[in-house]
Amino acid sequence: MRVESILQKLIPAKYYPHAERIYLKRRGIRYWGFRFTCPCCNGYFRTFVPFGTKPTQIACPRCYSVARYRLLYLYLRNKTDFFKAHLKVLDIAPTQYFQEMCKSLPNIDYLSADISSPLAMARMDITAMGLTTNQFDCIICYHVLEHIIDDRKAMSELFRVLKPGGWALLQSPVDHTCDTTFEDPTIIDPDAREHAFGQNDHVRIYGQDYKDRLEQAGFLVHIDDYVKELGESAVKRFVLMSDEKIYLCTKPK
């Protein structure tokens, strides 16, 4: 059993994030080296570590960021004004590191939300958030929509609360070899979902029509193949997924 799993069983949920942070900082020292770099925590390591059950999931030993969040950080830093402009930000299903980073930035007015996560600042359903319309300059929603039964309603809610001219990064796993999304609402058993969708809490596999769904909600969607812009050496150094594309979604003014 992994140490993290033992900590989760022994420590109450509200204290776990703090205990995990201490553990990961100490563990990062053990993996110190110069082969790989984590852009999120600026750590240098001889190796990254497995995360979860998928062999493609490799995490930073210190901050536990996985490939999609390392790419997110690089994209926000190099392609947006996230670290400079005064922004009101909504983060759906937050991670420990990203939430702490956002809270530390003086230019960011930050709110995290989730239906169940103890990390989230507010508990809410993404399909009925109860937030004021046209409220946020930026929304981060990473690998959430593939879990939501009524994803179209969730997309409409995200569009509603975003300010005109605002932007959102709405990432989900997308199979770019398929034209259309595969989903079957009759599949409800976790084992059957894992077999059909690759994970027991996923309810679909998006195809290339993911962009169409976002546009039907009202967004203007730009698919940015930013990882190719970074180049092969950066992919290896930061341990990124070479086929991850950024879905930059804006709300018309």
Assess whether 130 and 186 both reside in one domain: yes
Last residue of a domain, one of 65, 83, 101: 65
Dihedral sign, CA of 101, 103, 109, 114?
Answer: positive
92-116 exposure pattern, b = at least 16 Cβ within 10 A, e = fewer: bbbbbbbbebbeeeeebebbbbbee
Assess whether 4 and 102 both reside in one domain: no
Assess whether 57 and 162 both reside in one domain: no
Domain, as residue range, for 202: 66-250
Assess whether 8 and 91 both reside in one domain: no
Assess whether 10 and 113 both reside in one domain: no
Q: How much is the pTM? A: 0.85
The DSSP bridge partners found for residue 171 are 142
pLDDT per residue, tens digit, the chain (253 aa), is: 355 555 556 656 555 455 555 555 555 566 767 788 999 988 889 888 877 666 567 888 888 889 999 999 999 999 999 999 999 999 999 998 899 999 999 999 999 999 999 999 999 999 999 999 999 999 999 999 999 999 999 999 999 999 999 999 999 999 999 999 999 999 999 999 999 999 999 999 999 999 999 999 999 999 999 999 999 999 999 999 988 999 999 999 9
Asked if 162 and 156 count as a contact pair (C-beta separation under 8 A), the reply is no
Assess whether 21 and 94 both reside in one domain: no
Provide the CA 231 distance to its chain's centre, in angstroms.
Answer: 22
Assess whether 151 and 48 both reside in one domain: no
Assess whether 73 and 143 both reside in one domain: yes
For the chain, how many structural domains are there in total?
A: 2
Assess whether 52 and 98 both reside in one domain: no
Give the number of other CB atoms < 10 A from CB of residue 135.
16
Helices (H), 31-166: 67-79, 96-104, 151-161
64: left (phi over 0), alpha (psi -120 to 50) or beta: left
